[in-house]
């Protein structure tokens, strides 16, 4: 039963992505330039890391191969989320503007409707770039590719639920839209950095408040050296974070004050 429901939602999500793609392709040149700009942005960051590791072959036990794996996993997970669930990053803005009423009028689940309301199809470019970087991260085989895709699921689940928690703060702290955006950018900034270079107090922060360690570093370990212990830890963390995200959102929803904007979108 649940499998058929999941398949239905996946099909609808894919249909919405295709619809968004057809929409932006009406301005084809602008769309292609936007993709090019995003790829250049991530590519330039990656190039700087390559230059850095050419000068310093090992940093805190991390080599250029480790960095390539972490960076490819980071870009892939973030970009796939932008393609299929880009609306989640707008939750604080939607609540702040009183526009949540529209989503409350739709069939449950509310979070799914918010997530698929926006699809940044231009992020397909970074998805391709992430695979190119991954090819240089170590010996490539079907098992390693499958592990990469498997590990990225944990990254996306954690990042998605982190967005729910950080964006839901707007329910409790009015006008937190900019703050939610800053928290998201903080996670995306620190995530691709070698975890071992941070001081111990900051490591605790990266394993709790801003969980970049679990978002990318630990999934990368799953790809590089698979172990049942790492898998169990990731599953447990995903369950805990998903539970917290659901609780925080539902608690915030009870505090939501309607914007009285029950307009219908056609």
Task: Identify whether 266 is part of a domain.
Answer: no
Task: Identify whether 113 is part of a domain.
Answer: yes
Place of tokens 């939501």: 256
DSSP state of 193: S
Task: Identify whether 3 is part of a domain.
Answer: no
User: What is the distance between the alpha carbons of residues 154 and 177, in angstroms, rounded to a whole number?
Assistant: 26
Cβ atoms < 10 Å from Cβ of 138: 14
The pair of three-digit structure tokens given for residue 252, joined into one six-digit string: 């915030």
Which of 250, 91, 253, 80 has its CA nearest to residue 181?
Answer: 91
8 Å CB contact between 241 and 207: no
pLDDT of residue 215: 92
Span 78-100, average pLDDT = 88
Task: Identify whether 261 is part of a domain.
Answer: no
Span 182-194, average pLDDT = 85
The pair of three-digit structure tokens given for residue 85, joined into one six-digit string: 């669930």
The boundaries of the domain holding residue 249 are 37-255
User: What is the distance between the alpha carbons of residues 113 and 88, in angstroms, rounded to a whole number?
Assistant: 9
Span 38-53, average pLDDT = 86
Q: How confident is the model at residue 35 (pLDDT cuts 50, 70, 90)?
A: confident
Q: How confident is the model at residue 81 (pLDDT cuts 50, 70, 90)?
A: very high
pLDDT of residue 266: 45
Whether the predicted model's global pTM rises above the 0.85 cut:
yes
Which of 112, 212, 236 has its CA nearest to residue 159?
Answer: 212
- Please list the residues that pair with 59 across neighbouring strands: 62
Q: How confident is the model at residue 124 (pLDDT cuts 50, 70, 90)?
A: confident
Task: Identify whether 15 is part of a domain.
Answer: no
Which residues, in sequence order, are CB contacts of 81 under 8 Å at separation 6+?
88, 156, 159, 160
Q: How confident is the model at residue 6 (pLDDT cuts 50, 70, 90)?
A: low
User: CA-based Rg of the chain, rounded to a whole angstrom?
Assistant: 19
Task: Identify whether 26 is part of a domain.
Answer: no
Instruction: Assess whether the previous peptide bond of 79 is cis (omega < 30° from 0).
Output: no
Span 168-182, average pLDDT = 86
Task: Identify whether 127 is part of a domain.
Answer: yes
Span 160-164, average pLDDT = 94
Confidence check: pLDDT of 162 > 90: yes
Highest mean pLDDT among 100-104, 117-121, 217-221: 217-221
Task: Identify whether 161 is part of a domain.
Answer: yes
> Over the stretch 133-147, which tens digit does the pLDDT of each residue have?
999 888 888 999 999
8 Å CB contact between 5 and 109: no
Q: How many domains is the chain built from?
A: 1
Highest mean pLDDT among 44-58, 97-111, 192-206, 233-247: 233-247
Which of 218, 211, 217, 249 has its CA nearest to residue 235?
Answer: 218
Span 231-248, average pLDDT = 95
The pair of three-digit structure tokens given for residue 31, joined into one six-digit string: 């769309």
Highest mean pLDDT among 51-65, 108-122, 174-188, 223-237: 223-237
């Amino acid at each position: 039963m649940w499998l058929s429901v999941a398949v239905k939602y996946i099909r609808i999500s894919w249909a919405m992505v295709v619809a968004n793609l057809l929409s932006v392709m009406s301005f084809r040149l602008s769309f292609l330039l936007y993709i090019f700009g995003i790829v250049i942005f991530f590519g330039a960051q990656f190039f700087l890391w390559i230059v850095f590791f050419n000068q310093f072959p090992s940093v805190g036990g991390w080599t250029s191969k480790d960095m390539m794996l972490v960076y490819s996993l980071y870009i892939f997970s973030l970009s796939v989320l932008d393609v299929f669930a880009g609306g989640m990053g707008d939750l604080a803005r939607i609540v702040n503007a009183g526009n949540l009423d529209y989503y409350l009028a739709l069939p449950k689940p509310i979070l799914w409707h918010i997530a698929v309301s926006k699809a940044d199809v231009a992020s397909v470019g970074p998805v391709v770039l992430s695979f190119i970087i991954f090819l240089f991260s170590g010996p490539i085989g079907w098992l390693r590719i499958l592990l990469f895709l498997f590990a990225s699921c944990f990254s996306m689940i954690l990042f998605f639920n982190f967005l729910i928690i950080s964006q839901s703060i707007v329910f409790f702290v009015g006008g937190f839209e900019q703050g939610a955006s800053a928290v998201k950018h903080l996670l995306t900034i620190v995530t691709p950095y070698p975890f071992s270079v941070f001081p111990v107090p900051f490591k605790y922060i990266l394993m709790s408040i801003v969980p970049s360690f679990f978002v990318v570093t630990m999934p990368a370990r799953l790809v590089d050296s698979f172990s049942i212990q790492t898998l169990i830890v990731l599953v447990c963390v995903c369950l805990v974070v998903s539970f917290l995200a659901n609780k925080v959102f539902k608690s915030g929803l009870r505090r939501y004050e309607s914007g009285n904007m029950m307009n219908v979108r056609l």
